Amino acid sequence: MTRFFDFHDSILTAVEFEESSITICMKAILTVWEGGVGTGAGTIFSQSLKMRIEEASAEGTFDNFPVWLYDGAFKAAKTVTSQEDVPIGAIPDSLTRAEEVELTLEGEDETTGDYGTMRISGRRASIERYGEPVFIQKLRRKERS
């Protein structure tokens, strides 16, 4: 089973700056594939989470929340996770720690309609989930012809 957080259609609810760390709060899209990405049955959920990036710096920011994320990417030099078959740029659901992190978020301020990009880099990152995932929809596997 492959489980990962995708940025597309996620909702950024806050960005918190604390000393040398940055915490992003979001209602993230959690995609689950029973047989690996694109195979078997798939399900999409929404999951509230916080990602804390330590020894962090940011380029760009969002002034108002919520922000509807159109795109984003997560990169890390090293990750501690039980999954390896996660799409490039996604966050493994099983991520417990990452090192030398780069995070890019692109989206639209739901209040003003302004489009923005935020890039965060840092030494370490971890995620914390809140509550239970909320079902959104089932995915159909595309048949190859």
| pLDDT average, residue stretch 58-83 | 91
Q: How far apart are CA 45 and CA 82, in angstroms?
A: 20
Give the pLDDT score at 58: 96
Contact call for residues 78 and 92 (beta carbons, < 8 A): no
Give the pLDDT score at 2: 81
User: Quick one: how far is CA 115 from the chain centroid?
Assistant: 18
Give the pLDDT score at 40: 67
Structure tokens at 23: 């915490």
Q: Is the pLDDT of residue 61 over 60?
A: yes
Q: Is the pLDDT of residue 81 over 60?
A: yes
Which of 95, 96, 77 is closest to 86 using CA atoms? 95
Res. 17 pLDDT band, cuts 50 70 90: very high
pLDDT > 70: what percent of the chain? 91
